[in-house]
């Protein structure tokens, strides 16, 4: 093994008000305050951190992967409107638009909601399907967030959490 990293989280409990988005935009317009929570219910282990590309068309990781059991309920991170609940290529996806201009996306999630449906924070959007993070058992949820068409944001910042990366020496195996 060539060394590795273990990620963990700090802050951002399920009721953290630090996850509230600003109430005034840069242009002075009023923006609705939205309080976000973990889509897993409680804070979850981060399997893969947010790693946005330098340019919109480059490779990167436009969200976070959270440890979550296959079949477990996936919850709306905040109040909003479901804008998509279906299949993209080969995996089930749910996307929700929120009043602050953020769209959150959850995959692979077999939906129990439909496009156009209003949801509240904590409502069940669907259940985690198998097929993401093959090396991670019992499963993991990809949670993405973006503002506008291509400005991806770290979803952990929405819940007031930070990823802590701890580098391991070459001779230490990953847990």
Cα(104)–Cα(98) distance, integer angstroms: 8
Give all strands (DSSP E) within the chain, no chain letters: 4-10, 46-48, 63-67, 73-75, 80-88, 91-97, 102-107, 109-111, 118-119, 124-128, 140-147, 151-152, 162-168
Contact, 99 vs 25, CB < 8 A?
Answer: no
Reported pTM: 0.75
Q: What is the pLDDT along the chain (175 residues), one digit of tens a residue?
A: 233 333 344 344 444 444 444 444 555 555 678 999 999 999 988 887 777 777 767 666 678 889 998 999 999 999 999 999 999 998 999 999 999 999 999 999 999 999 999 999 999 999 999 877 766 567 899 999 999 887 889 999 998 865 554 454 555 454 4
Instruction: Give Cα 106 to chain centroid, integer Å.
Output: 7
Q: Which domains does the chain have, with CATH numbers?
A: 4-168 (2.70.70.10)
Name the nearest CA neighbour of 147 among 137, 157, 139.
157
């Amino acid at each position: 093994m060539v060394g590795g990293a273990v990620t963990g989280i700090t802050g951002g409990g399920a009721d953290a008000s630090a996850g509230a988005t600003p109430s005034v935009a840069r242009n002075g317009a009023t923006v609705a305050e939205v309080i976000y929570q973990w889509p897993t219910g409680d804070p979850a282990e981060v399997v893969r951190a947010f790693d946005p590309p330098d340019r919109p068309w480059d490779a990167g990781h436009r969200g976070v992967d959270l440890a979550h059991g296959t079949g477990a309920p996936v919850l709306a991170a905040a109040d909003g409107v479901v804008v998509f609940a279906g299949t993209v290529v080969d995996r089930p996806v749910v996307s929700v638009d929120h009043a602050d201009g953020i769209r959150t996306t959850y995959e692979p999630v077999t939906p129990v909601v439909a496009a156009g449906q209003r949801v509240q924070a904590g409502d069940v959007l669907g259940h985690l399907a198998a097929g993401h993070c093959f090396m991670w058992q019992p499963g993991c949820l990809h949670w993405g967030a973006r503002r506008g068409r291509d400005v991806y944001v770290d979803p952990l910042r929405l819940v007031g959490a930070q990823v802590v990366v701890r580098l391991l020496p070459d001779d230490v195996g990953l847990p």
